[in-house]
Amino acid sequence: MNRLSLSNLPTKPAVDPGELSVGIVHLGLGAFHRAHQAVFTERAAQLTGETRWGIAGVSQRSAAVRDQLAPQDGLYSVLTRGTDSTSIEVIGSIREVLTAPEDPDAVVARIADNRTAVVTLTVTEKGYRAASGGGLDLSDPEIQADLAGRPPRTVVGQLAAGLARRTGESLTILSCDNLVANGPFLQRLVHEYADAAGLRGEQFDAAAFPASMVDRIVPATTDADRDEAARLLGVRDEAVVVAEPFLQWVIEDHFAGARPAWDTAGAVLTADVAPWEQAKLRMLNATHSMLAYLGALRGYETIAEAVRDDELAAAARELIRSDVIPTLTPPDGLDLPSYGESVLERFANPALKHKTTQVAMDGSVKLPVRLLGTIQDRLATNAEPASAALAVAAWMVYVARSTTVDDPQADRLKSAIANTTTPTDLVDALLAVESVFPRNLQENEAFRTLLIGHVTELS
């Protein structure tokens, strides 16, 4: 079967990809970007007719995405799987693909190019190389290697080197990762890197780092998805991504220069993203992680299977009701209990096949964002965060039971628990990992007791 390409298009896109010039650099060309920001960008171009917002996507680690997209002229499709219906759409907004390890200078040059007005990022929590507590981890060997003067390979190194070389319009750098206050968080890292590298100049103060909340469930693509895309398109698409129908983007309205008209495509521009972001991270992402750990422990392969288990659904509902909602200020117009229910309905979509092991990975960097803030807020009011502690306990048991843990701190976690035999030992060993748990939680006896009780029940 032929490959998807400009000369082999099943349907002509509303915007001719050949007419688009690059105005956006995206760092972290994984599945999520292709099913989210690139879709908003494509729709905005269709609605406005603007041709300056093509995307240069940067693959940060392997050349796999470049090898999928290059023979397809950057085209790929989004396979949207609803509970009862499936649709497919070809996206043409990615106009260039760079592979950072192969061509680090080209990445910096694209960021420095004055035609680039916006850099977006989806590089996972670990891609930021932050120390626990927030600042840059200067002990990270990759950060140290960048600071020693090689062409930068880390994301903060790329951003700082690109910013330092800019001469014209100020740049907007927009994190789209699931992090608390992702904009200011990234700004601090870039500024600390620039200070350490002696690069700090006026472009750093002029750059804007808006916060954003992103939402669409996008599981890793499988061979079965590629086969289904081929059947629907009539051509092979090796770069297809799969997503649920739901799509949301709330962006702080704080740009240093021009931006795509993402609002015409449905993005919400607002002065304050924090209430949206907290509701999403503490409800959706927290219950996602809880279902991933509890579900994997019960042998469920997908999140949909886990949430269809009445006991696990009840545990997720209880987390939302008793621990999360009391800590939140609802964003205007959002009914928190209904939002919580809608999240669980989305998880139950059987067509998505989001693996519990995929959501469970990188727990050491996800727990602080998704659960520990809720736990701290509950303990501060002398409430018992029993449900949130259950999710953390499930992670502990999952780490102990897994032969290999997919986590940036896997070695540290495994060596911490090497000689543990009882639930109390396990809790104490993992609670002592200071890069995961802040001191006030390590020293909180009520939290420790809750964890020991849950780990005992789960073991």
Ligand X SMILES: O=P(O)(O)OC[C@@H](O)[C@@H](O)[C@H](O)[C@H](O)CO
Interface residue list for ligand X (CB under 6 A): 124, 178, 215-217, 284-285, 288, 359
Which residue, 219 or 385, has its beta carbon nearer to ligand NAD?
219
Phi, psi of 113 (to 5 degrees): -65, 130
Least distance (Å) from ligand NAD to the CB of residue 309? 21
Which of 348, 351, 395, 350 shows the shortest CA–CA distance to 370?
Answer: 395
300: left (phi over 0), alpha (psi -120 to 50) or beta: beta
Query: Angle at the Cα of 62 (from 57 to 64), degrees rounded to 5?
Result: 75
CA 100 to CA 80: how far, in whole Å? 29
Q: Is 127 in the site for ligand NAD (CB under 6 A)?
A: yes
Q: Is 78 in the site for ligand NAD (CB under 6 A)?
A: no
* Paired sense of beta strands 76-81 and 212-215, if any: unpaired
Q: Which residue is nearest to ligand X (CB)?
A: 288
**For residues 340 and 320, is the Cβ–Cβ distance under 8 A?**
yes
Q: What, of ligand X, ligand NAD, none, does residue 188 touch, CB below 5 to 8 Å by kind? A: none
Q: What, of ligand X, ligand NAD, none, does residue 61 touch, CB below 5 to 8 Å by kind? A: ligand NAD
Single-letter residue type at 272: D
CA 444 to CA 194: how far, in whole Å? 37
The β-bridge partners of 89 are 78
Question: In this structure, how many other beta carbons lie within 10 angstroms of the beta carbon of residue 13?
Answer: 17
The span from the first CA to the last CA of the chain, in angstroms, equals: 50
Which residue, 23 or 30, has its beta carbon nearer to ligand NAD?
30
Least distance (Å) from ligand X to the CB of residue 178? 5
Query: Does the CA dihedral 125-128-129-135 come out positive or negative?
Result: negative
Q: What, of ligand X, ligand NAD, none, does residue 30 touch, CB below 5 to 8 Å by kind? A: ligand NAD
Which residue, 293 or 447, has its beta carbon nearer to ligand NAD?
293
Q: Is 31 in the site for ligand NAD (CB under 6 A)?
A: yes
**Residue of 69, 218, 312, 367 that binds ligand NAD (CB under 6 A):** 218
**Residue of 4, 22, 29, 375 that binds ligand NAD (CB under 6 A):** 29
Q: Is 273 in the site for ligand NAD (CB under 6 A)?
A: no
Site for ligand NAD in 40-59 (CB under 6 A): 59
Q: What, of ligand NAD, ligand X, none, does residue 60 touch, CB below 5 to 8 Å by kind? A: ligand NAD
**Residue of 42, 177, 238, 377 that binds ligand NAD (CB under 6 A):** 177
Which of 280, 310, 111 shows the shortest CA–CA distance to 211?
Answer: 280
Contact positions vs ligand NAD (CB under 6 A): 28-33, 59-61, 122-124, 126-127, 155, 177-178, 214, 216-218
